[in-house]
Structure 1
Amino acid sequence: MSKSHLELTQVGIDFPTPKGPFTALQDVNLNVKEGEFISLIGHSGCGKSTVLNIVAGLHQATNGGVILDGKEVTEPGPDRAVVFQNHSLLPWLSVYKNVELAVKQTSKDRSKAEIKDWVSHNLELVHMTHALDKLPSEISGGMKQRVGIARALSMEPKVLLMDEPFGALDALTRAHLQDSVMEIHAELGNTVIMITHDVDEAVLLSDRIVMMTNGPAATIGEVLNVELPRPRDRLALADNPQYNHYRHEVLTFLYEKQRKVESVEKHKQDAAVKETIEEESSDSNAA
């Protein structure tokens, strides 16, 4: 994990509104090494998904930009695969056909036999070979998400982008999928950027946790290195002092440091409003 192959430099984005541009992100800087597992965490509206969409090429940054292996990211591409909270499987295609479609679109030079082997390999990675002929309506939510991950992995992306991939699942299913993702990451050594609201999930899975400040003009507040040895066992970590220290660091940022920042900003806004009122009052008296 020595090569820095994904770079976000001074990334900012404005969205047009009837009242003028709304600055969602500002001055986001992040270097991601090959093979790293990065989690983005923060309160709702802090721009986590916007960062992910810029890396995916779904949004264009207003300022700054993204470089992947020396090339600027300007549009979506097979070198970046996205796993959404909603699995987004095509309901009329079987589990196998959903993954096969992605392989055919990104691997034009593979023979039929090679495509079959590759689809089967990726379904095996997520433990879904037993359901390859089933339609999405015939499998559970957790299974659908496994297929979504297999589909993304089958594209052999340089970066796997995951937007709260376990957010809609029950706790037990979420835990099983987290374990699967850790196994896959250990086997493939792929680069992963994941959005999460779950502090325990972030600490369990990540090499680094990127903590976002609240919007508007959200940016990176702190970056926490998680130096827990791999493979990681959730039960063993429950009483691990280092694990709980990392957990405390993230919670402290989310609920204490962020509150202080908001308090300072509110104080500035109140002072500005007071100054404006005093100026208007002074002008009125002079008139």
Structure 2
Amino acid sequence: MPHVLVADSFLDEERKVSYYDVVLPFFKMAADGTPIEHVGTCFPIGIGIYLTAAHNFEGFQKTRGRYKRQSPEKTAPTMEEMVERLEWMKEDKFLEGADVNCGAIIFDPAAIREGQLKPLGISYVTSVLMTLDFDLAVLLVRDDARRNLDGERTPIPCLSLIENPHIGQKIAVAGYPGAKNKFKLTEVDGKPKVNFGVSLVVNEGEITDLYPIMRDVGPAFFPCLQTDIDIAPGQSGGPAFCKETLSVVGINSIGGIGGGLVSWAGKAFDAELLTPIGLTIGGKSLNAGEATTLRELAEAGMIQIFNE
């Protein structure tokens, strides 16, 4: 899988948006904020708001095991089951106070436009919102390290979300697979030195089937889109999106099942996402343990839903 050269990474003729602006390597962090392990990919959908795959978090896997349904059948959870599980998660203050210890490596947009890849900083994740029935996690970042060419926080490119994708829709799957993605901070003569290497891979294809409830094979417990594009380890959490509109149909999830499966973003618009910390969304205050949705974030103007 050839990686994307910086000079060839632009999604438009005006060179306003590069893959490296909106597809970011996602790392586990040490307590001091130093990247220690590449775990996948993430992408921005708003200022201080990113998406990735929920399965990138060890805590998600453990919690799904704890709250697993009584029946292993490949059927959609009933409304009663979903409500019951949500109440369990609230009672346990799901992820409240958790040290998520992760972040996205941000690249310098000016260097990108000179054909170079230089780290600008790290967007450290403050909190994670998720539900147990979708392979999707919303990452909240208090201090978003992304900047535009003028060094300002806005405007900066973000990916919008598509609610209703269709069979035959042309998409690209982007992410950082393999063991070549490394980021190391050292000190030379009393000055910090960064040694890093990343390998961004983009493959193109189309949606071949829709599963609005869940796939009937493998660990696809969530609404998903079948594609003819394989997804490699490390690409998990990256966007499956339409290049022309910069709009995301889903989150890279599982490879090797007739191509690749992506978690259907649109089906998660109204899923209740538990907030482990207090938040204010569109003037509405939420306490820890209460829920919000992607649609509410869009209505508050914090993210964008693409309307075809």
TM-score by length of 1: 0.24
Q: Which has the higher helix share?
A: 1
Q: Which has the higher strand share?
A: 2
Greater Cα radius of gyration, structure 1 or 2: 1
